[in-house]
Structure formats: structure tokens, C-alpha cells
Structure 1
């Protein structure tokens, strides 16, 4: 299976642009340890997915997965919910 990085990037950018335009922050914010743990678990699963796709020579998908995992951890860091 051939992956088209340019097409994939365009799709992700368009989706994020729409998503960002419609975000509505919730208040008051309540973040439990369980939610933080779940987010870390999801990041670990995306990292494992990245390893799988890299092994299948699907580099674009692997990069998307590991980048998503990194973004989840970055969000937790920015919110001071995990140590850098």
C-alpha cells in the first residue's frame, strides 16, 4: 500500500482547521487522575501502533500515530498534569 504524505497532510490540516474553529472550552475544568492515566494509556497505544506501522513500512501512518501520542503528552505537560 502506497501512502501519499501530501494528501494525508492536507486532510489532517483541513480537519484540524475546522475543529479549531468550533472548539468551546468547558468551565469549570475538572481533571481526575483517572483521566490523566487514560490519556497516558492512549498515548502508549498510539506509540505501539506507530511501531506496528513502521514495521509494515507504512511510514506516514507510523509518523501520524507517534505524533498524535506526542501531542497528547505535550497537552498533559502544558496543563501541568505530568512532569516534563
Structure 2
């Protein structure tokens, strides 16, 4: 399944590295990644693909100190 998420992160490069490490360790394939920045924070729009439930990823991302907000925008089932 493909999942689109928007994430607000602290404006630090190490925060992006930690964030991407969690995505990789949880077994989600990153299919789209867009990073926008302002003075306060990074905003990441991304699409991930996996057979695993999305809550396995979002629960871990919410535990990161650098993550300010996560919103799940849509779910899209993969064609079989």
C-alpha cells in the first residue's frame, strides 16, 4: 500500500537523518520525498510503500523529539 504523509520537523539536518533512518528501519520504501524549509522547521511531503500497516511507521516517528506533527493524507491500495 502507498501512504502519503506530511511531516513537520525541527530545522536541523540531523533531524532529517534520524527521520529517514526510522523509515528505512521500519521497512518502508520511500517513493516520493519533497523537503521545504522556513526559519522554524522543515516540512516534508513524502510517499511510502509497504505491505506493513502504516501505524508501525507513524508510531515510531511520533516518538522522535524532532518531529512536530505528522498528518496522513491518503491511502492508496496497490493494484494486484
TM-score range, shorter chain: under 0.3
Q: Give 1 or 2 for the bigger CA radius of gyration.
A: 1
Higher helix content, 1 or 2: 1
User: When the two structures are superposed, what TM-score results if normalisation uses the length of structure 1?
Assistant: 0.25
User: When the two structures are superposed, what TM-score results if normalisation uses the length of structure 2?
Assistant: 0.26
